[in-house]
Structure 1
Amino acid sequence: MTGDIDKKELNLELVREFLFRQSKDIIFLLNEEGLCLFINPSVEIYTKHTPEYYIGKSLDELIPVDDQKMFCDFAGAETVCSKIRITGHDGKLIYCEINCEKLSDGKVLGLVNSFLSWENEQREDMIRKLSIAVEQSPVSIVIAGIDGIVEYVNPGFERMTGCKQADIKGENYVFINPVDIEPTVYQDIWNAVNNDKEWKGELQNRRKSGEIFWESATVSPIKNSKGETTHYMKVAEDISEQKFMMDTLIRSYEFIERVMDNTNPIFVIDSEGKFLMVNRLFTDITGYSSSQIIGNAVSTMFNTEITRQIFSLLRSRFVKDAAIVHFESELERKNGEKRIVSVFLSTLIHGSNVKNIVGTLDDITGRKEAEEEISKLSSAIEQSPASVIITDIKGTIEYVNPKFTSLTGYNSREVLGKTPAILKSGWQTGDFYNNLWTTILAGNEWRGEFHNKKKNGELYWEFASISPYRNQEGKITHFVAVKEDITDRKKSEEALKISEEKLRAQNQAMVKDLQYAQMIIKQILPAEAPQFPGLAIGYCYMPLEAIGGDLFSFNELSNNRLGVFLGDVAGHGISAALFLALVKSAIDRLSIKFGDRPVPLLQRLNRELYSSMGSYFLTAIYGFFEQDGPFMNFTFTRGGHCPPVLFRKKEKSVELLTPRGKPIGMFKEAVIEEMTVSLKQGDRLFIYTDGIHETINKNKEMLGYNGLLNIIKKQSSKPLKDSLDLIIDNVKNFQGDAISEDDIVLIGFEYIQKNS
């Protein structure tokens, strides 16, 4: 039993030491003469001296003489609460509050807190303007109209009071369920805000659940751009814990354990680096129970950084003063979730060595994420290539980004407090602006073009999107305009409009040229298949464009021979038509001399094209048919062209005929081979362009030579003319919805009778 009491007293002693040393507030004890008997280490955070500096001295260097009159007020009261100033590191005064209570032995116990600075006030002002930051603020914020009726409360208010917007509708915005507030307090508040001042103080309120709590409140007037008060704002922080802590320090050790479980997560480490004690909030944030934590090494719970900091303090030797270490780190919970925490470590000294370490954690994950999001948003707007303007409901400019400055020539100081009317050029009518305001005041987005004027008088065009911004109540409070400089585009449109007639005339000339080219192609291509003894001849021609790039011809030669030419030019259109006309003329001329000699014919054609039309070339096949007893011979050569297909009726076989040859007109000398094939009764010969076997379907699959051979063989039982049509139909079916990419020419020959 005695051991349990000693352990409890040890824990209470540790907690008491922690509350004095770990507290972020300044706690001091004065004797009857006003000399300092004790002051906690937090004084070093706010001032330039250590606690030892103040021991045995008056607090003149901490509290200015003008603010020490409060110590005279103890004549009539046991407790005094007042606003004072203390001297900071740089000699500047820090505004704060002090609570003092005279103890039964005449000593004075004091608590200095609620430290404020102008930098914090400016930051709070910035956060107030940013709705996201306001929503995430841990403090309670209430905004009311000039009539005192609540218009907005943030989630911090709901968390602190349990009341939502609907619960306080019609209530006076300063007090929600007040507890024993003197009438003079009301009068002080309204006197302050009506005289353009803010009121600060502590109030005791009641939550929706009936629970009583203390809050440190600030009530301020909100002015519009004209300096008129339009709203009141109350910012309050729940200071119940601080009140309870002060009460616990003075009156009861038993209350400390309850306070511990309603502050931050707290842990105590022994001299061996093991957990000695943790509170409920520590188990909540880690996800482990106290039995899973106490007695284990800190490395089982904390990462390397926190563990290193703890052992660095534990290894300290021959120290006189307690140390406080503050840093941010990462904490991994039992479920693997990682949180960002603010860590405070404080040492408890025994003799000249560190006996224990008391630490607290503060989960700042939400704050860090909010800061990162705000930073991203601010950076995006600042670096935006578009001008951004934010105005209030009356159009008064509150913000412009750097792009606005670089575009218009106005810096932010020149436009803040003014309206975008300073950019007006007079080009747009009053009805134009009336329509704009009607649209955005109705809560809709407006899009349109402005013809505005820069600071230097230069006119410019911009496309704008103006959108209303609504607060949590759905009320429009601001307008956001995002504008893009379209001056260059406007100039281009004007230039395009000016050149429209010229382009139209050029197009008409091109249409005429195209008509002439179509006439040329029509004249050089055969109107129908020729008649030749012993042969059935048919063809299909499908140009990709109005003017194709394929050429074929039939020439009757001497000694009862028939010459056949098929060429495929690289290209389409007018230039291809002119080139085809040149090739047709050359073929007609060369076939007179070389009609029964395919190799010399294509070689002579190659030299002529290479020397006169070096930038053009074609693939070609030339051959001639000649009766040879019971056979019909076809002697041919090809210059880089698709190989002919031979169908044997008796064997029902198909094959490709592949003599070698290079494209015509591409090289100075053409290397070409000649080949002769004999057709028997019913045999067929097909020549074609690559638009057939290179057909692509929607799955990017190519028909290929094998696909073409299978189709020809499949349609071999049909008459030649029908067979040609069916071959083309099969190719188109394979192609499906895919787009054609080349001309198609297919010519078929069938040996239909023997020579009598």
Structure 2
Amino acid sequence: MKKLVSLMEEKADKICPLAAGYARRLFHLYFPELSLNYLEKFCRTVLARIIRETKTHEKDPTYSGPELYHNIVGKLTRISMPSGCPDAGDRIEPLFLLPVLKGLHHSVRDTAGDLPAGTPPLNLNLLDSFFDRLEMTLWVRVCGTAAGISEIPAAEQLYEQQLHDQKHFFLNLIENSSMPTFVLDSSHRVIIWNRACEHLTGYTAEEMLNTESHWQGFYLNPRPCLADIVIDGNPDSLTEYYINYGISEVHTNGLWAEGWFKNRRGREGYIVFNAAPIYNDSGELIAAIETLRDITERKKAQEALELKNRQISEELETAARLQRNLLPAHDISIPGLEIAWVFEPSTYIAGDMFGIFRLDEENTGFYILDVMGHGVSAALKAVTISYLLKPSSWPGVLRDSRSDRNITPAETLNNINQHFSMLDTGLIFVTIFYGILNLKSLEFTYARAGHNPPFLLRHDREIEELSKGEPALGFTDKTVYHNYQVSLYPGDRVFFYTDGILGTPAQKNSGKKQLLRLLADNSEKDLKEILTLAKNNARNSTLKGGHDDDITLLAFGISS
């Protein structure tokens, strides 16, 4: 209370003009002649009497709370009506004081929010309570006058009855609330334990009231509840008792926490706890209220989902390891060739795959494929086809053991396309480029099924596209794939890629041009460095476009 009185004294020159302006807006229709200057003087008179009577209250310990407000209002009603009013000079009407008190309330509150840096903040709850009680007491006098009650004791009786009714209303409000709630006094004793709290914990109000046993409703052993921590003013101890906790964004000095609870009566669940302090008119903490929100079913569902997600993640990580095991080694070495590759799935696993394998001493196979879509389904199809393209996996796909010859790329794609239904692909399409390089003649024989045409970077920096080919696998079993040939020379390089390297679908044309320019500008660098540059460029582009795709690059060069 001393802080409030000091503020009103020190800031009177700022408070009173604000209060006068507020009050004049309310008075204007009834007393248009009432000047702002006179109203400001009147506000100063009212504020001075409030300050003087409040100081008297602080000096006399026998001076009760209700008596303070009745005495302030009694002094105020002895002030004369201001000039400009019809009854100027007569004793003021209580109703005339209400706009002035309202104006002072608002202006003091505004001033309290504009204190110098480093000044301890004023308790706004105390400020609001002080002016609310003044206004309530003034209304009691107005109602008493209207009802013919002229004696202060009778008015006080009316006021106390109103307080009793108000207290009864709020107690019933808490008791009948569907939100489990309990209240502790400043000595940590239970003063309210509502029906919803009984239902949640299994402990009755009769067992809990006037005890410090409220912890039994939530725990097996004695420990503070959140309301206890609020009363003790020790939020630092939250870390000792809770895993998830924080400062309330709603209540000053309030706290929240959540966690599993289990009590001695077999009740258990996951609770969100919220606790806040309760202050009296003097700003002293007199109690703390704690509400409990049971979210057990939602938490169980969340934890089940998290468990399932972990299991899926573990399975995907296993699938990713299996998929990577099908890839060539990074240090793969084939005499006469420079080889490099980049494989970066957009998630755990990719719908892209590629392979490099020796068919015999003179011939090496290269393939790259892209299954339409992303994620697990596309990856399974990609892995299945890659398994078929391993020399030892499926006889008759890459090599004919009976005639001891390599099966041409076109024959291989025709065989896979004819048996496409065996892969249970549904409406999934697969693009693939498969070629065989003869290391002796440097003839590169290939077949293309709808895949992005590889770039052939000649030793003289000329760039060609290996664009001849037919549609993707899976469109129709009537498609016939053909072999095409290109002669390579020492210093030539071939770059294979999937759609992800080109960026978003809208960026496909510009992405292709960027890739061509990157290859031309960096032709002197080694293959691994070129592919890393291309991957980084593509990943930056796709992230900007809000699109993420698998990125696969494969390149080989003929040693000079």
TM-score tier (shorter): 0.5 to 0.7
Which residue of the partner structure matches residue 480 of structure 1? 289
Q: Secondary structure at the match of 1:664?
A: coil
What is the match of residue 538 of structure 1? 339
CA contact (8 A) 2:227 2:289 kept: no
Among 636, 640, 643, the alignment partner of 2:453 is: 643
The alignment covers a number of residue pairs equal to 405
Q: Give the alignment partner of residue 435 of structure 2, picking from 623, 629, 632.
A: 623
Greater helix share, structure number: 2
Q: 2:88 aligns with which of 243, 248, 257?
A: 257
**Aligned residues of 1:621 and 1:637 also touching (Cα < 8 A):** yes
| Cα offset, 1:555, TM superposition | 5.0
Alignment-derived partner of residue 712 in structure 1: 519
8 Å Cα contact 1:555/1:564 also seen in 2 = no
Task: Decide whether aligned partners of structure 1 residues 582 and 527 sit closer, same or farther in structure 2, where only a CA change above 3 A counts.
Answer: farther
Bigger relative contact order, structure 1 or 2, given CA contacts below 8 A and separation 6+? 2
Question: Are residue 528 (structure 1) and residue 332 (structure 2) matched?
Answer: yes
Name the CA distance, whole Å, in 2 between partners of 1:604 and 1:415: 81
- When residues 483 and 170 of structure 1 are mapped into structure 2, their CA distance, relative to the original with a 3 A threshold, is same
Q: Which moved more, 1:595-604 or 1:738-747?
A: 738-747
Q: Identify the residue that residue 392 of structure 1 maps to in structure 2.
A: 185
What is the alpha-carbon distance in structure 2 between the residues aligned to residue 695 and residue 519 of structure 1? 25
Quote the offset at 1:550 in angstroms.
1.8
**Matching residue of 1:162:** 51
Give me the whole-angstrom Cα distance separating, in 2, the residues matched to 1:422 and 1:649: 84
Q: Alpha-carbon deviation of 1:621?
A: 0.3
1:566 counterpart = 2:372: no
Q: In 2 relative to 1, CA 167–633 (structure 1 residues): closer, same or farther, beyond 3 Å?
A: farther
Does 2:463 match 1:654?
yes
Shift of 1:466: 3.9
Post-superposition offset of 1:528: 3.1
2: CA distance, partners of 1:468 / 1:550: 63
**CA gap 1:688/1:706 in 2 versus in 1, 3 angstroms:** same
Shift of 1:645: 0.8
Pick aligned residue for 1:553 from 337, 352, 356? 356
Given the alignment, which residue of 385, 389, 395 partners 1:583? 389
| Distance in 1 (alpha carbons) for counterparts of 2:300 and 2:486 | 68
Question: What is the alpha-carbon distance in structure 1 between the residues aligned to residue 266 and residue 490 of structure 2?
Answer: 87
Q: 1:399 to 1:749 in 2, by over 3 A?
A: same
Q: Contact 1:695/1:702 (CA < 8 Å) preserved in 2?
A: no
Secondary structure of the corresponding residue to residue 332 of structure 2: coil
Instruction: Tell me if structure 1 keeps the 8 A contact 2:226–2:273.
Output: no
- 1:550-583 deviations in Å (ceiling 9; x for gaps): 231345579x766533334565788865652233
- Return the alpha-carbon distance in structure 1 between the equivalents of residues 90 and 484 of structure 2: 107
Q: Give 2:526's aligned residue.
A: 723
Whether the 8 Å contact between 2:354 and 2:366 is mirrored in structure 1 is: no
Alignment of 1:399-478 (within 5 A): 404=197, 407=200, 421=213, 424=216, 428-430=220-222, 432-433=223-224, 439-445=229-235, 448=241, 450-452=261-263, 459-461=267-269, 462=271, 464-471=273-280, 473-478=282-287
SS at match of 1:658: coil
Question: Is the 1:609–1:617 Cα contact (8 Å) retained in structure 2?
Answer: no
- The reply on whether 1:603 has 2:414 as its aligned counterpart is yes
Q: What letter matches 2:184 in structure 1? A: T
Matched-pair contact (CA < 8 Å) for 2:317–2:348: no
CA distance in 2, matches of 1:703, 1:410: 71
Q: 1:460 to 1:704 in 2, by over 3 A?
A: same
Kept after mapping to 2: 8 A contact 1:610/1:666? no
Greater Cα radius of gyration, structure 1 or 2: 1
Q: Which residue type is aligned with residue 528 of structure 1?
A: I
The answer to whether the 8 A contact 2:388-2:397 is kept is no
Shift of residue 708, structure 1, vs aligned partner? 1.4
What does 1:3-22 correspond to in 2, within 5 Å?
A: none
Question: Residue 190 of structure 2 contacts residue 212 of structure 2 at CA under 8 Å; is this kept in 1?
Answer: yes
Q: 1:393 to 1:659 in 2, by over 3 A?
A: same
Equivalent position of 1:744 in the other structure = 552
Q: Specify the code of the residue in structure 1 equivalent to 2:519.
A: I
Partner in structure 2 of residue 614 of structure 1? 425
The verdict on how the C-alpha distance between 1:737 and 1:382 changes in structure 2, with shifts beyond 3 A counting, is farther
Kindly indicate whether the alpha-carbon contact (under 8 Å) linking 2:442 and 2:487 is maintained by their aligned counterparts in 1. Answer: yes
Q: Deviations over 1:4-61 (max 9, x none)?
A: xxxxxxxxxxxxxxxxxx9xxxxxxxxxxxxxxxxxxxxxxxxxxxxxxxxxxxxxxx
1:525 and 1:553 in contact (8 A); partners too: no
Would the aligned equivalents of 2:201 and 2:218 in 1 still touch at CA under 8 Å? Answer: no
Q: What percent identity do the matched residue pairs reach?
A: 20
Cα distance in 1 between the residues matched to 2:348 and 2:66: 83
Residue 171 of structure 1 aligns with an amino acid whose one-letter code is D
Give me the TM-score of the superposition, normalised by structure 1: 0.41
One-letter code aligned to 1:641: H
CA contact (8 A) 1:529 1:539 kept: no
CA deviation vs aligned residue, 1:125-161 (integer Å, no higher than 9, x gap):
xxxxxxxxxxxxxxxxxxxxxxxxxxxxxxx996752
Alpha-carbon deviation of 1:646? 2.5
1:643 to 1:487, Cα distance in 2 relative to 1, 3 A: same
C-alpha separation in 1, matches of 2:422 and 2:174: 64
- Do the aligned partners of residues 470 and 576 (structure 1) sit closer, same or farther apart at CA in structure 2, a change above 3 Å counting? farther
Structure 1 range deviating more: 676-685 or 604-613: 676-685
The 5 Å alignment of 1:281-320 reads: none
Cα distance in structure 2, aligned partners of 1:161 and 1:743:
77
- Matched residue of 2:519: which SS? helix
Cα shift at 1:714:
1.0
Q: Which amino acid aligns with 1:566?
A: I
* Preserved CA contact (<8 Å) 1:556 1:562: yes
Query: Unpaired segments of 5 or more residues in structure 2?
Result: 1-29, 31-44, 104-169, 242-258
Consecutive unaligned residues of structure 1, counting only runs of 5 or more, are: 1-21, 23-155, 176-216, 220-232, 267-279, 285-376
Whether the 8 Å CA contact 1:443–1:468 is kept in 2: the answer is no
Deviation of the 1:744 alpha carbon: 3.0
Paired with 2:86 and 2:313, the residues of 1 have a C-alpha distance of 95
Task: Please say if residues 712 and 727 of structure 1, whose CA atoms lie closer than 8 Å, have aligned partners that are also in contact.
Answer: yes
**Residues 471/661 of structure 1: CA separation in 2 closer, same or farther (3 Å cut):** farther
Q: CA deviation at 1:715?
A: 1.9
Q: Is the 8 A contact 1:466 1:479 kept in 2?
A: yes
Can you list the C-alpha shifts for 1:684-720, whole angstroms capped at 9, x where unaligned?
4322344544499xxx99982222111110122x2xx
Code of the residue aligned with 1:521 in structure 2: it is: L
> For residue 589 of structure 1, what is the amino acid of its counterpart?
G
